[in-house]
């Protein structure tokens, strides 16, 4: 089970004549993104960017939002180009570096990703998302203890951070620290009971312990919430609940 945090730069329209039609396009792009209409979101962001009506700060946000959209579509090379521009326009924006780091990680440039996450943390030491992102890359590099520390810092900074609990729980599960994993998944369930992934993670942990009935109970809960989750379907096959 793999959780990826994608940082999204949220555009907030400011009052005044500087925004106008260009800002309307970028806001419309963000609304389209939230609806899941990603091609339309890209069209709106591009119109705003090309209009010449945005300030430097607004352009950075627009490029960052378009980067997020390309990332969601797994268009990583295009996302990287937009993220590079966002960082150039806003070199002191921690979110922009975290977003580019996420793109670099998807491109398997883990060294570059870590550089960006460290820069985001340098700019904003209280940025929980950057610690979580860094933890994911460290885990993939086999730096388990450092990954756990990074997830732990994210949780300390943001105690209701569901994805950080999931990622730390998954790391504990892989290291066979099953009780710690179960505790993290249980916390995530308490924070977001309508989210399938914590049930899947806890079910996989119970399954690894040989507690098949408990695993099946969690998988059934997850199935009701996410019937098309491919990881869940594989786990259901393992316990004989699905062909």
| Mean pLDDT along residues 146-156 | 98
What percentage of the chain carries pLDDT values higher than 90? 81
Contacts by residues 225-231 (CB-CB < 8 Å, ≥ 24 positions apart): 225/194, 225/195, 225/196, 225/199, 226/196, 226/197, 229/196, 229/200, 231/1, 231/200
Q: By mean pLDDT, which of 51-65, 119-133, 189-203 is the weakest?
A: 51-65
Residue 13 has pLDDT above 80, yes or no: no
Residue 111 has pLDDT above 70, yes or no: yes
pLDDT at position 243 is 54
pTM of the model: 0.87
Q: What is the mean pLDDT of the chain?
A: 90
* Helix and strand numbers, DSSP H then E, in the chain: 13, 0
pLDDT at position 8 is 39
The span from the CA of 187 to the CA of 151, in Å, is 14
Contact 45, 66 (CB under 8 A): yes
List pLDDT tens digits, range 37-89: 999 999 999 999 998 889 999 999 999 999 999 999 999 999 999 999 999 99
pLDDT band per the 50, 70, 90 thresholds, residue 20: low
Contact 242, 228 (CB under 8 A): no
| Mean pLDDT along residues 217-235 | 89
* Fold of the domain built from segment(s) 162-243: 1.25.40
């Amino acid at each position: 089970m793999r959780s990826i945090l994608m940082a999204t730069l949220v555009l907030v329209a400011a009052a005044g004549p500087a925004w106008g039609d260009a800002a309307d396009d970028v806001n419309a792009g963000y609304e389209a993104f939230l609806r899941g209409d990603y091609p339309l979101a890209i069209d709106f962001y591009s119109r705003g960017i090309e209009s010449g009506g945005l300030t430097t700060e607004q352009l950075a946000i627009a490029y960052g939002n378009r980067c997020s959209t390309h990332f969601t579509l797994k268009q990583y090379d295009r996302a990287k180009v937009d993220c590079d521009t966002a960082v150039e326009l806003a070199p002191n924006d921690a979110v922009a570096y975290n977003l580019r780091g996420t793109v670099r990680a998807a491109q398997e440039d883990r060294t570059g990703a870590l550089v960006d996450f460290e820069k985001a943390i340098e700019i904003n030491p209280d940025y929980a998302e950057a610690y979580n992102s860094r933890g994911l890359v460290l885990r993939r590099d086999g730096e388990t203890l450092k990954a756990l520390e990074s997830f732990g810092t994210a949780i300390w900074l943001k105690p209701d951070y569901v994805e950080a609990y999931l990622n730390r729980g998954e790391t504990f599960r892989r290291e066979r620290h099953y009780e710690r994993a179960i505790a993290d998944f249980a916390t995530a369930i308490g924070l977001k009971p309508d989210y399938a992934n914590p049930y899947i993670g806890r079910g996989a942990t119970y399954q690894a312990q040989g507690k098949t009935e408990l695993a099946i109970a969690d998988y059934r809960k997850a199935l009701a919430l996410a019937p098309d989750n491919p990881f869940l379907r594989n786990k259901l096959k393992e316990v004989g609940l699905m062909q």
